[in-house]
C-alpha cells in the first residue's frame, strides 16, 4: 500500500497475505497409464483401472494401454468434486466389461465424484442371477459422462441401466471404497 494506492478487501487470509495465496499454482493433472500386470508408482503405471482410480487426483487422465477386453472391478469414489477422465492410450483399443453380480450391481459408486469415459466401448452384462446391472450408482451430484462410447447391453431385457440414484449410506462397501 503506497500513499496513492490502497488495498481493498481482505489483506490476510488464514494468517497469510492474500496476494501470496492467489499466486499459488494448481498442480497439473497427471496422465496415469493402465498396463495389465505392471505397476510403477514413480511413472504412474497401474495394473488395473480400479488401482489407477484409487491413486488418482482430481483432474488426472487415465490412459488404457491395452487391446481387447478388460473386466472391471467395483469401486466406490467418495470424494465430492473429484473429476477423472478415462480413455484409450494412443494406438490402443480396449473394451470395458462390467459383469454385475448378485448384490453388487454397479461398477462405479460415485458419491459426489465425476468420472468421464471417452472413446471406449463398454459392455454391460446382467447375468440371470443378478437383479440389475448398472455402470454407476450416483449420489450427491455424482456424475458418469460417456463421450464417443459404444454401449452394449447384454442379458435379460429391462435389467440393465447406465446409471441410477442411490442413498449415500447404502453405497458404502468398506472393501471397495477410497477417499
pLDDT of residue 84: 96
120: number of Cβ within 10 Å: 20
- Ranges 8-17, 30-39, 123-132: which has the least confidence: 8-17
pLDDT of residue 175: 45
Question: pLDDT tens digits, residue range 70-124?
Answer: 999 999 999 999 999 999 999 999 999 998 887 788 899 999 999 999 999 999 9
Contact 133, 164 (CB under 8 A): no
CB-count burial class (<10 Å; 0-12, 13-18, 19+) for 116: middle
Strands 61-64 and 83-88, bridge-based pairing: parallel
Strands 61-64 and 68-71, bridge-based pairing: unpaired
Q: Which residues of 78-91 are buried (b: 16+ CB within 10 A; e: fewer)?
A: bbeebbbbbbbbee
What is the residue-averaged pLDDT of the chain? Answer: 81
* Predicted model pTM: 0.75
* Alpha-helical segments (H) within the chain: 18-23, 49-55, 168-171
Q: Is 15 helix (H, G, I), strand (E, B) or coil?
A: coil
Q: Return the closest-CA partner of residue 122 out of 144, 96, 154.
A: 96
166: number of Cβ within 10 Å: 20
Q: Return the closest-CA partner of residue 94 out of 124, 59, 130, 122.
A: 122
The confidence band for 6, taking pLDDT boundaries of 50, 70 and 90, is low
pLDDT of residue 163: 66
Amino acid at each position: 500500500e503506497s500513499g496513492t494506492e490502497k488495498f481493498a478487501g481482505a489483506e490476510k487470509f488464514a494468517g497469510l497475505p492474500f496476494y501470496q495465496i492467489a499466486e499459488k499454482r494448481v498442480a497439473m493433472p497427471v496422465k496415469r497409464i493402465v498396463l495389465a500386470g505392471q505397476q510403477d508408482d514413480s511413472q504412474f503405471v497401474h495394473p488395473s483401472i480400479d488401482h489407477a482410480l484409487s491413486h488418482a487426483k482430481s483432474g488426472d487422465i487415465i490412459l488404457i494401454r491395452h487391446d481387447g477386453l478388460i473386466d472391471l472391478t467395483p469401486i466406490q469414489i467418495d470424494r465430492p468434486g473429484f473429476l477423472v477422465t478415462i480413455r484409450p492410450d494412443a494406438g490402443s483399443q480396449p473394451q470395458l466389461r462390467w459383469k454385475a453380480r448378485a448384490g453388487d450391481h454397479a461398477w462405479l459408486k460415485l458419491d459426489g465424484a465425476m468420472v468421464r469415459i471417452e472413446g471406449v466401448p463398454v459392455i454391460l452384462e446382467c447375468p440371470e442371477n443378478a437383479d440389475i446391472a448398472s455402470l454407476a450408482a450416483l449420489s450427491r451430484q455424482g456424475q458418469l459422462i460417456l463421450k464417443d462410447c459404444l454401449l452394449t447391453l447384454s442379458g435379460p431385457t429391462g435389467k440393465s441401466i447406465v446409471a441410477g440414484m442411490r442413498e449415500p449410506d447404502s453405497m458404502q462397501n468398506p472393501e471397495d471404497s477410497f477417499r
